[in-house]
Structure formats: C-alpha cells, structure tokens
Structure 1
Amino acid sequence: MSNTEDFSDSGSEYQPIPGEIHTESETDTSCDENIMMPSSLSEPGTSKSRKRSINKENWTVNKRKLLRNSGKENERQEMFESFWNLKDFNQQNVFLYALVQKASVNRKRPKDLSRAGKNVSFKYFLKSHIMTQLAPHQDTCKTCDSLNFKIRGTDDENVKKEFEVQKELHQRKADSARENLQIDAKKINDAYVLTFDLQKALAFPKLTTSKKTTCGYDFNWLNIRWLRFERNHPLQFQFKETLNADMPFYKVDLSKKQQGRPAYLYNIQQGPLYPSRRPVTIAKKKDMLESSPIHSTNLPSILQKPVDIPTRSSTRNADERSSDDEITYD
C-alpha cells in the first residue's frame, strides 16, 4: 500500500441546513480556540475538557520578570556605572524617585500623648478552667463527713457505736468552743478575737519553724485550739490543744537557732585598752588645765594641787611622725 491517501472526489457533497449558517462580522472578537472541533478530527490522547490549560509563560508578570532578568551583563554594568557617574546626590534621587511607587498606608495609629486614655477598661475571662460556676453549698466539717461515711458503710454494731461516740465528742468540742467564744465576748470589752479558715485563705509562704515545744515535746499545728501571745516575748507563743481553761499552756520558740555550743560572755575577760596614760601636746595640756574646774581659785588649797599630765616633750617613746598639734599614741 502507498503511504499517501487518495483524496479523489467520491461524488457526494455536503449542504448545510438553513438556519445553522454562521456568519462572521468585522466586530466579532471570537477566536478559533472557542470553536469546538468534532470528535472525529481531534487527536488521539488529548483531553476533551473545555477548561483552558495553564500557561504561566504568557502571564504579564512573568514576561516582565523575564525581560528584566534577561539583560546582558555588559548592559547592567553600563547602567550601574552611569548611575554612579552622576556624582550628584540630588540627580540620583531624581532618577530613583521616578522608579519608586509610593503606596498609601491602609491603617495608621498616630501616637498622640496629649489624648486622654480610656477611663474604664473591661476584660472578660470566659475560658473554662475546670471550675464549677454554681454557688457553693454550706461548708461541712471534714471530720463529721468522714465519720458519717464510716457509720453508713459498716454493718457491725459495735464499730458503728464507736464511730457515733467519736462524732458526739467532736460535736461537743465544737459547741463548747462556740459557747466559750460568745461568753468571752460578753465579759471582756477591750479584747479582739479573730477567727479565720486556713483552707479558704491564700497560699502562705513556706516557713521553717520549730517542731518542738520548749519542754522538748512534739506538737502538731493542726491540733492547736488556743493561741496566746505576750508582748514581752515577741518570738514565743503559747498554745493549747484543748479549750479547757484549767489545762496549762505550752510554749514554742520561733527564734533562729544557732548551731554549736552557745557562747557565755560572762567568762570572757577583757583587758584595758590602754595600759598607761596617753601623752598630749603642751598646748592641749594648758587648755585642759584652764578649763578644768579643779584648778578654780574658789576651791580649797588642798584641792588646788596641780595634776601631773604627761606631755609629748616629757615622753621619750612618743611617735615621731605625729605633729605638735596632734595627740600621740604609744
């Protein structure tokens, strides 16, 4: 067979249907790309979609970038040298000003210190911190709650009675404390009583304090029921573990403890600072004799005996570096 095809006339002809004839005008801007080719004439393997393929080389931005970067090296060198050969700062700025585009600021916040600030500021904390927003219930005693759970959870009658007795004693102590507080408030008018809940207070700093009384007994801060402070002993306090007025107080010393054996100052013997009299200048001696009341003329003759004060001239071991107007030291 021959590689060439026979395109001879077959004797048939094509006549278009009336109404489907498309005429083109001079103002028609449609291009040949919008005309869909018949499926029989399309190349095999090509997509039949109407969406145009992306060709980034035809983008205006990429074309400008390509032209800008495609300049030859000698041309860029000539432009560089011509700019710096101007040798005039104003002319260079004029050249750059023509190439720079000024963009307006979309949002500007001027710093005006004379303007008054906000009078009121609000900040809402709406994040969830795993905390209940309901009103708290009435506070209950931890000891009473634990005893109630033990009473409900045991079936032994003897054990249940023991827990009931402990609960009764605990409630009696609380009632006694409340009654004594009310009685003391009526009797004493110049005393102030402060009560606070440590569980609701803020976190206190960690303090290193004594864990023993002055007698050497251990004590627990949670068992303290009565505290007493004295003005004469600011670093000590007295406490009781009961509200009974007949029970004695125990003392706790909060002063800083010193390690090692304490020093006994009464055993230390201190010698004199100067073993002999210190000599003075002659002018100083004269001034001392004139200002001394012992040499007054109104005193008896027995008391008018002159005082022997050693001077620098009469002392052989005086310091040679001292001046005549200064006191010399041995």
Structure 2
Amino acid sequence: MENPEEVVASYLRKTRTGQIICIILFFIFVSIVVRLTGGALSIYAYLLFVPILAAAFVYGWTWALLTSTAASFIATFLLSPNGVSFNSDLLDDFFVRFAIMGLVGVEAGIMAQRLRRETKEKELSHTSLQVKLQEMASLRTIDRAIVQDVDVYSLFPEIIKMVVESLSADVGIICITDGKGFQVAASYGVPEEIRREMEGFTICGEANRFWTQPRLITCRRLEDKAFCDWPDFDRLRQKLHLSCGCAVPLKVGSHHFGSLSLFFRSPDALDEGVAEEAEIFAGQVAVAVRNNQLLEEMSSLTFDLVQSLAGVVDMRDAYTGGHSERVTKYALGIGEELGLS
C-alpha cells in the first residue's frame, strides 16, 4: 500500500493544481515569517515574486536566486512602509526576505527543471513510438511482397519513402546491381530534375565501390572521389548539402542484388543505431527480392516443362490421330491457370 504522504507529495509535484497550491503556500509562508520577524511587505513587494517565478521557470534556479537578491533589496530598501531608506537597521529584514524569496525561487526553478525534463522525456517517448509504428508499417509492406504474389519492384518507391521517414534521413536510394554496374530502382528526397537523370541508368566506374559492395559501407565525407565519379549524385550532394551516408547491401546468402542507401545533411545523424535499423529494412527487402526472383524462376521452369511435354506429344501426333493436339491444349490451359504467359 502506498504511503499517503508520498501520494500527496507526488500530486503536488506533478499536477498543475498541486503546483499552484505550492505557490500559494509559499506566499502564505512568506507573509507569516515576515510578520513574525517584525518586518512588513507592501503590496508592491509581493509583486516582486512574479519576476522571481518567471526567472525560475524560464532560466532555472540560478537566475531565480539572482532575481531574489534584487527583489529582496528592492522590497527592503525601496518599498518599505517608511519609504526609500538605506538604513543599516533594515539589513535583518533584507536577509530574511532574501532567504524566503531565494527559497521560493530555487524551489520554483527545480520544479521547472523537473517539468521540462519530464516533458522532454514524454516528447522523446512519443517520437520513438511514432518511429516504431512507421517501421512496423514499412516492414508490413515488405512482408506483403514476400508472402503474396506482389511485384516487389513496384513497391520500391513506397518502401524507400517509409525507410527514409522512419530513420529521419534526407535522401534514400535503392539500387539493383548485376555485378558490373547498377541501376537506380527507386529514390526519395531527390529533386525531380535529378531523379529523372539518375533512375534507370547503369553507372560504372569507381562509384561501384560504394553502390555495389556486398557489405555495409558508411561514409562520413561524401566528397570522396567514389561519389564524384557519378556526376548526377555529385550534383545531388551539392544541391542538398549532404554530408554523410551509408549503403546497406540487399543480400540473401550468396545472392547479392543491390543496395539500400541513406544520406543525411547533418554529419552527426549517421550512427550505429541508424545503420542497424537500415540493415533490418534491407534484409527484409532482400528476402522479398529473392522471393520474387524464385517465383519468376519457378514460373519459367514450369512453362518450359509444359512446352517440353507439348513438344514430345506433338512428335507422336502421327501415331495418335490428333490426340496430341488435345493434350497440347490441355497443357497450355494448365499454364494459363498458373498465370504463365
């Protein structure tokens, strides 16, 4: 069972109503202590708590303490009931008020820091949850291409968009390689005039070191010669001020299909966590691509088998009196049912 005192304390610290109650109690406490010590505060002196609390909530308890010093001086020597006076007899009142106002300011500053920290933690938690939801949606789209008869290449634009948004990248590119060069299959964040020139063209040369390697590659300086050999990407880098990036291979076993590349403007945006998340997406995409290739190979083999059977039956046409034509039609019907062209 929770301690009632802890419950009340937690309520006063974490709820807006509780914080207002604390501030009111501070004012009451100030009035009682000042009266008991023989001092007096005018209505204007009470208003000096406003800048103290403002400094506490905006700048923290250090500034609140400095503001409390100034407020105590003003309340004691400038707003006293006897008018403006710098009598040394008022020093006791000054120190009492400074202690009280400083206590209010420090407590308010600590409360403000706690509130800012809790708010930031909630914002980070909310952002993290949104990213995870985007990642789940992205992986679900890729899974659909794996388990269903869906052309994975047609999903590349949607996939790269979700990956870029999930990992807070600025540019994303999916490339397909044949071992000698590569083609840009899809991209996101690339200006239209550059995208039209990039997509569909095979690039060869030094640039292949980054785009066609069957292993994870990260680059902290995109001014490297490996990128400048590809003029379209070099123009993209300069136009969007890209500073770093990584290329994750699309690979299943010994089968290497291409790469999923992400690029960032901020040099600090690329870290191990981003690379690990990108590898997860790339692994799913690679499985989908390989699954698509296997389906195409299976369809091709099945069609070749049907054609071979039909050819063998045709050779016996003279001995079957036209029966082979019916068998051929039947075989072609099977092929159509299988979705073969």
Instruction: Give the structure-2-normalised TM-score.
Output: 0.16
Higher relative contact order, structure no. (Cα contacts within 8 Å, ≥ 6 residues apart)? 2
Q: Which has the larger radius of gyration?
A: 1
